[in-house]
Chains A and B, each alone.
Chain A
Amino acid sequence: MFSDDVEYSVIGKRVPKADAIYKATGQAKYIEDVFLPGMLHGKILRSPYPHARLLRIDFSRAAKVPGVKAAITSADTTKVKYCQMPISPNKMALADEKVRFIGDEIAAVAAIDEEVAEEAINLIQVEYEILPSVFDPEKAMEADAPQIHADSPNNIAAHFVRTFGDMEKGFREADLILEDRFTCPPVAPCVLEPHGCIAAFDVAGKLTIWTSTQNPYNVQRALAIILKIPLHHVRVLNTTVGGGFGNKSTILSIEPIAAFLSQKTNRPVKILNSRHEEFTTARTRYGMVIYLKTGLKRDGTLTAREAKVITDNGAYNNKGPGITSVTCNRIGNLYRVPNTRTEAFVVYTNNQSGDALRGWGGPQAHFAVESQMDRIAEALELDPVDFRIRNANQSGDVTPWGWQITSCGFIECLQEAAKMVDWRQKRKNRPLGKGIGIAGAIHTGGGSTGTHGKGNYSEVSLKINSDGTVHLTTGDSEIGQGSDTVFAQIIAEELGVAVEDVKVISTDTDITPVGMGTWGSRVTFVGGNAAKGAAEMAKRQLLEMAAEMLEADISDLEIKNRQIHLKGKPQKSLTLSEVAHTCIVKRGKPITSKMTYQPEHTQAPDPQTAYGNYCPAYGFGVQIAEVKVDLETGRVKVERIAAAYDVGKAINPMLIEGQIQGGIAMGMGYALLENLQVEKGKVLNPNFCTYKIVNSTEIPAIKIHLVETIDPYGPFGAKGIGELATIPTAPAIANAIYHATGARIKDLPITPEKILEALKNRREGKQEEMGSRGKA
């Protein structure tokens, strides 16, 4: 078993979050809580048609509404097309000639209050030429499909193939080949706090923008590009973020629209999304169709895995190709598979675009692979846990894709999860309608290189105050996951101070170092390493001064509990504040440090082949779900979930549990409930009443076991798990439902109707559309 056998003061402790007191009392300021003198409210006119040419826009009636201060179309903007990722940008803040999805931004108004703005929007008259539209990505690829972007024939935004090994050999060696088709629909992120911003241009043409974001620097860069102003003229202030999950990692259109309106009116302009706009325009998890084919030997060894992935890119480019390449690389690297081929088509449709969302393509890949792994285990009459252990990634592996697996507790997680639930008994003794299923997961535990066309670094700046307290500034954002608290713990441990002695500032582009932001479960690992390094440097400076004051050797000193003392002679000591005061005030020597951490053992994947070790620390997790299915209604109750996670080192177990419990609820929604019902491009259920996310009465009992593999590169051995938390849930539930009912559902969400239909088909002896083929 793993252990570092180290006694820590603060690492590993269940420290409450520093910002919790503000959030518990209503004092935390979210974007909706910020009011500025002279502030106007902006509203957006959105297309009611999924695909149309804009012929004429008439503001004459709208402009007459008292209290309207500005009305703009794309003609009033720079018409710059923007995309955060290094792919073809094709989204303008306001549509120029065509609208391409229901909700596409056409015009905007700034007025003295929301009501006046809303009234004005409703009075804008637009003449449209309606164009044919397409909503299914597979249909959108056909020759006669309507063309959505002039430069993308067959609506293909991206197409790539990744091959590793010898596919022909791999399938030839297989005793059994299974093929399945899985569908994962787009789902809504459902951040509780809607997107919003306030843009304020000053008289000198400098812009300040308040917004709820996972990366203020992404917002800064985007607005500088779109508005054609220098970076130092854009200041982004991150308000308290009420949920991100990836959905607030880049801008929507509301930010540049607010900026253009502010530019025109010379007043601050606030735009807040309504919940309706959140569901219809704030983007979704990318919907995908996955054709998966796997070859294996009788003894359970995987020989080859081939996949075709078709992603619904939506109307405009955002992160479709990047996320689809993650789906492909998970298909290629989850478990040991010597030969893999993945082909991906990322296809435009007249739906709203997709976005980053917890897991970044991983949930789709895992639903497919782990459902099929279960089918394989059954075909070979192998226990699903044993079968996975047999093929699990292990420490020291270098996968065919070039991934270097350093710390890895995959097998331990499989074993511990099975132990937690008494797996073998429950698998054998199965009362009708009750089932148990397992799924494993791999994900980045420290971000990745090359994903956004750049590296994977974090920079922090640290100063010790003259009373021994600490200020840390970082470009990585606190979005509720607790990164500010984790930084404080790391620094407190390193500097021998209390957690409450550390203040973390992560919210102002004028003050903090440039950050890459919060994504890819990277902040604990990359940001944490930067914080630890900066603390080590500051500690050195403190010890140098203390050595002088105590007339001792630096190597004989240690810092603990805000005291610097001689090792073994605690009576010969100084307080940290005495030393800091001497340094800073008496000697005029500030104690500051700066550290940039970028992992050295990672590379951006090769642009052609995708080969490369792109993540500094891969995380692993396993969930086992126990369900009870009502065979008459098809309703599923998830009774228990056992979760075992390789976290490297649990810096704050309470925060980690929170991630796992929250991830399970999100994964449950993905598996069973969440269904964005779209008909001809129109979202039919754009509200929490008819789009269901898990509520408090539906959650299972959750048992958690953390495996500490002590990653060689992580701060104190830690890796990230924020996304891993949600990735195995849907396939674990799907596998449990199969175990309970014999119904294998390959199309999310697994609704009661689908279960009843599958049970009916089994009773009537109907075959599955894609099955297994064996060799004699």
Chain B
Amino acid sequence: MKHRITLTVNGELQDIMVESHQSLLDILRNEVGLTGTKKGCNSGDCGACTVLLNGKAVNSCLVLAAELGGSEILTIEGLLRGRDLHPIQKAFIAHGAIQCGFCSPGMIMAAKALLDLFPIPTEEQAKRAISGNLCRCTGYTKIIEAIMDAHKFGKS
């Protein structure tokens, strides 16, 4: 059964038809055409699909699209202002926190959720904020450093 939902994605209104069982991840990647959010496991375990739903970090593979009428979604694509990188993105690049990059969009969105509340987080806060985001390449150290340092790269 198809449902019609209207939601805001990265500040733009999206008016789309979705199946009952479709996840937010699937409609973002297919219907809305934003492929920056990744599908790593489709079962809420890896965090690669992290987006902000009404300001809160969620695993978009676990969220039913049909329930999202009126919601505000922020994806990795929404961080750019024209071609200006968000300070978190600058921090990740400068710190070498990105290797294969598959976990990076999810990591950056999880980091944004934290930094919106705590612009200068402690190491403990940074570690906990990304504890649901798996990375196989970096060992997390430089990601944590980038998150703690993001405030030095500009205002969000």
Interface residues of A (CB under 8 A from B): 14, 16-17, 19-30, 32-33, 190-194, 240-245, 274-275, 479-482, 654-655, 657-658, 660-666, 687-689, 693-697, 699, 702
Contact = CB atoms under 8 A, between A and B. Distances in A.
Interface of B: 29, 34-43, 45-46, 48, 75-77, 79-80, 85, 89, 92-96, 98-105, 108, 126-128, 130-144
Given A30-B38, A654-B96, A696 B89 contact: no
B102 A192 contact: yes
Contacts of B89: 21, 24-25
B102 A30 contact: yes
A656 to B, nearest CB: 10
A25 B42 CA distance: 21
A541 B141 CA distance: 44
B94 A19 contact: no
Nearest to B78: A26
Contacts of A274: 42
> What is the predominant secondary structure among interface residues of chain A facing chain B?
loop
A192 B134 contact: yes
Contacts of B76: 25-26
A256 B118 CA distance: 50
A137 to B, nearest CB: 27
Q: Which of A32, A662, A665, A689 has the most CB of B within 10 A?
A: A662
B127 A192 contact: no
Contacts of A25: 36, 76-77, 79-80, 85, 89
A702 B139 CA distance: 10
Nearest to B138: A662
Nearest to B143: A696
Contacts of A22: 101
B85 to A, nearest CB: 7
Given A16-B96, A480-B137, A240 B101 contact: yes
B144 A696 contact: yes
Contact of A243 (B94, B131, B137, B144): B137
A748 to B, nearest CB: 18
B102 A193 contact: yes
Given A193-B38, A245-B136, A695-B132, 20 more contacts: A23-B98, A23-B104, A24-B98, A32-B29, A191-B136, A275-B46, A482-B99, A654-B95, A658-B99, A658-B138, A662-B135, A665-B136, A665-B140, A687-B43, A688-B134, A689-B45, A693-B134, A695-B131, A696-B126, A699-B127
Contacts of A695: 131-132, 134, 140
A696 B140 contact: yes
Q: Which of B77, B134, B142 has the most CB of A within 10 A?
A: B134
10 contacts: A21-B93, A27-B36, A28-B101, A193-B38, A275-B42, A275-B45, A275-B46, A662-B137, A694-B140, A699-B127
Contacts of A28: 101
A275 B40 contact: yes
A193 B40 contact: yes
Contacts of A191: 136
Given A25-B85, A245-B136, A658-B137, A32 B35 contact: yes
Contacts of B131: 695-697
Contacts of B96: 14, 16-17, 654-655, 657-658
A657 B137 CA distance: 11
Contacts of B127: 696-697, 699
Given A25-B36, A243-B137, A699-B141, A688 B101 contact: no
Contact of A32 (B38, B94, B104, B105): B38
A662 B98 contact: no
A655 B42 CA distance: 30
B105 to A, nearest CB: 5
Nearest to B37: A26
Contacts of A655: 96
B43 A24 contact: no
B8 to A, nearest CB: 18
Contacts of A482: 99
A337 B131 CA distance: 44
Closest 6 CB pairs of A and B: A26-B36, A23-B101, A480-B100, A242-B102, A661-B139, A688-B45
B100 A24 contact: no
A636 B131 CA distance: 18
A654 B108 CA distance: 20
A275 B94 CA distance: 31
Query: Which residue among B48, B75, B104, B137 has the maximum number of chain A CB atoms within 10 Å of its CB?
Result: B137
Central interface residue in A242, A479, A654, A693, by most chain B CB within 10 Å? A242
Nearest to A702: B141
A20 B139 contact: no
A531 B132 CA distance: 40
Contacts of A481: 99
Nearest to B142: A658
B136 A666 contact: yes
B130 A696 contact: yes
